[in-house]
Structure 1
Amino acid sequence: MPSPSVLIAGCGDIGGRLASQLVAAGWTVYGLRRDISRLPAGVKGVAGDLFSVQRPADWPAGPLDYLVYSAAASTHDEAGYQAAYVDGLRHVVGWLGECGQQPERLLFVSSSSVYGQQDGESVDEASATAPTGFSGRLMLEAEQVALNSGLPATRVRLTGIYGPGREALLNQVRQGYRVASEPPLYGNRIHADDAAGLLAFLLEADTRGGALGDCYIGVDDAPAPLAEVVAWLRGHLGITEWADEASVRRAGSKRCSNRLARALGWAPLYPSYREGYAAIIAGA
């Protein structure tokens, strides 16, 4: 059997990690981004701009088995999200149509921002989506573009991604960050390698004929109160002084479940923030 092919549109941090995993597994991987010199080894570069209606000149000419849409907004405002997630996905779906390409499945990398729960509720794929901000609203709109694309589509709603190069919370704790413990502000996390690993797992499952659902939440096994995470990081970083006043960096509080992904056979390499942050601290 020939190796499956995939085009990763938006082959940045998560897309690049995914690309490396798939190349190692023998896939033919195309990576679309503006600067293809930054693609991982073994990835076939497609230089292009998702924000443009013009199809990239070196768009693959042959069949594509899979499409992964893993864009990142250039600006974190409403216009930036509209361009990156809604308009960009429409452009890519249009380019597929222009070339007569019909992938077996589209994976759309979405976000848990589509959920608006704020009181520590348990959240799964069937929970109500009532986002309170533009980011979640536009992610829902982009998800609908994926579902209406004419391709079998699966949305992967990633939670707070952390890992090497994504160390905002670590840096805040080093600077004396303090958060109130009551009421508990639950957060949800997934290590960047696990985010890419989940996408790779879903693709591999589809090649084997597995029945994929149309939505999965990408999260580790242990949503935890932010105050607990901060206290653990202080201990491991040796921080003994912190701010007198508590601050809150976000309003949402929910506990996302990875039950559906686990039922399919996926398991995170870093089941909680402890293993994930310990690896980052050891690597530093």
Structure 2
Amino acid sequence: MHVLILGAGYSGTAIAKALAPAAQSVTGTTRSPDKLPALEAAGIEPLLFDGTTISAELAAAMGKATHLIQSIAPGHEGDPMFRAGTPPLTDLLPKLEWVGYLSTVGVYGDHGGGWVTEETPIKPVSQRSKERVEAENAWLDHGARQGIPVAVLRLAGIYGPGRNAFRNLAEGTARRVVKTNQVFNRIRVEDIGSAAAFLASRGMGGVFNVTDDEPGPPQDVVAEAARLMGVETPPEIPFEAADMSPMARSFYGENKRVSNQRLRQAGFDFAFPNYRASLAQLWTSGIWRGE
């Protein structure tokens, strides 16, 4: 197995670590030269990729890659591997055996707090989610044409070491914004890595929701973290009065409960099935601070 991760950020690095034991090589890209040492420290052969220009080194990595993780957001120009001017994927990735495409549960749009599964018709609201749908379809269509399994991983809100409510509380940025009946799903980053490795090792394709078992109000997560830390719980802030960026506010325009049963029925077990167990592990282990 030769792994190539396009966009080896927080989730991509977790996936690299999960795939590494079965891989002969793991290569990952970043836009930032400053991030190259961190990728190397994580056991990833680092390469620069701005989403457009494919260097000779990246072309060589693509040429030997058998397993691809695509984590780069598409943007208005579409997925970087399907943009105008990009060589055909069959030329760039001649040895490809499996693709994992990292998408978002945002593609489902708003369902008024109701449950959604992979069979639920998607109705993306934000432009970024509409772009994700286009990219999902491009990869699934390519896989169907070439006979390559493509797994679309629709990710919930991502957290883990270094990115969590403990850090926010410690840094004084934690807030408990309350919107009536609002719930979110979330997913521990290590479970993203494990889920990708599970699907890759079995050559499984299709659409999978990668999310915990328990959608819940976001203010409850902050309260539980404060309880574990033994610090004062931040006061509730009504959504209508909260000072939020347009992007942050847009997340509250979508309310749904996302089911992970397809992935579970395939045989995958989540190490962190709910936020309470996950927060307790982050706190007691001390890894909440990150590296």
In structure 2, give the amino acid aligned to 1:177.
R
- The AA in structure 2 aligned to 1:232 is E
CA-CA distance at 1:48 after TM superposition: 2.4
Residue 236 of structure 1: CA displacement? 1.9
The 8 Å contact of residues 178 and 230 in structure 1, kept in 2 or not, is answered as: yes
Q: Secondary structure at the match of 1:262?
A: helix
Q: CA deviation at 1:244?
A: 5.9
Q: Distance in 1 between matches of 2:254 and 2:95?
A: 38
1:178 CA drift (Å): 2.9
Matched residue, 2:107: 114
Does residue 178 in structure 1 map to residue 180 in structure 2?
Answer: no
Q: Does 1:272 align with 2:277?
A: no
Counterpart CA distance in 2 for 1:244 and 1:190 is 24
Work out whether 1:60 is the aligned partner of 2:30.
no
Mapping of residues 18-29 of structure 1, within 5 Å: 18-29=15-26
2:162 to 160, 165, 173: 165
Contact 1:7 1:30 in 2 (8 A): yes
- What does 1:225-244 align with in structure 2 at a 5 Å threshold? 225-240=217-232, 242-243=234-235
Say whether the 8 Å CA contact 1:19–1:29 is kept in structure 2: yes
- The CA RMSD measured in Å over matched residues stands at 2.7
Amino acid corresponding to residue 227 of structure 2 in structure 1: G
Query: What is the identity, as a one-letter code, of the residue corresponding to 1:133?
Result: S
Normalised to the residue count of structure 1, the TM-score between the two structures is 0.82
Contact 1:184 1:226 in 2 (8 A): no
Which stretches in structure 1 are left out of the alignment for 5+ residues?
74-79, 207-211
Q: What residue number does 1:131 align with?
A: 124
Q: Identify which of 228, 251, 276 aligns with 2:253.
A: 251
Once residues 25 and 106 of structure 1 are traced to their aligned partners in structure 2, the CA distance between those partners, rounded to angstroms, is 16
C-alpha distance in structure 1 between counterparts of 2:95 and 2:101, whole Å:
15
Match of 2:75 in 1: 81
| 1:189 maps to which of 179, 186, 189 | 186
- 1:6 and 1:28 in contact (8 A); partners too: yes
Supply the distance in 1 between the matched residues of 2:94 and 2:9 (Cα, whole angstroms): 23
Provide closer, same or farther for how the CA distance between residues 175 and 29 of structure 1 changes in structure 2, counting only shifts above 3 A: closer
Q: CA deviation at 1:5?
A: 1.5
The answer on whether the counterparts of 2:176 and 2:235 sit within 8 Å (CA) in structure 1 is: yes
Q: Quick one: which amino acid aligns to residue 228 of structure 1?
A: D
Aligned residues: 264
Structure 1 match to 2:37: 37
Match of 1:221 in 2: 213
Shift of 1:241: 5.3
* Corresponding residue of 1:261: 263
Q: How far 1:228 moved relative to its partner?
A: 3.0
Q: Look up the match of 2:6.
A: 9
Alpha-carbon distance between aligned partners in 2 of 1:99 and 1:229, rounded to the nearest angstrom: 43
Q: In the alignment, residue 122 of structure 2 is paired with which amino acid?
A: T
**What is the CA–CA distance in structure 2 between the aligned matches of 1:100 and 1:242, rounded to whole Å?**
50
Give the 3-state SS of the residue equivalent to 1:242 in structure 2: coil
CA distance in 1, matches of 2:102, 2:95: 19
Structure 2: state its 5+ residue gaps.
Answer: 243-248
**1:20 Cα shift?**
1.8
Tell me by how many angstroms 1:177 deviates: 2.4
**Structure 1 runs (4+) greater than 6 angstroms displaced:** none
Other-structure match for 2:49: 48
Residue 283 (structure 2) pairs with residue 281 (structure 1): yes
In 1, the alpha carbon distance for the partners of 2:225 and 2:181 equals 17
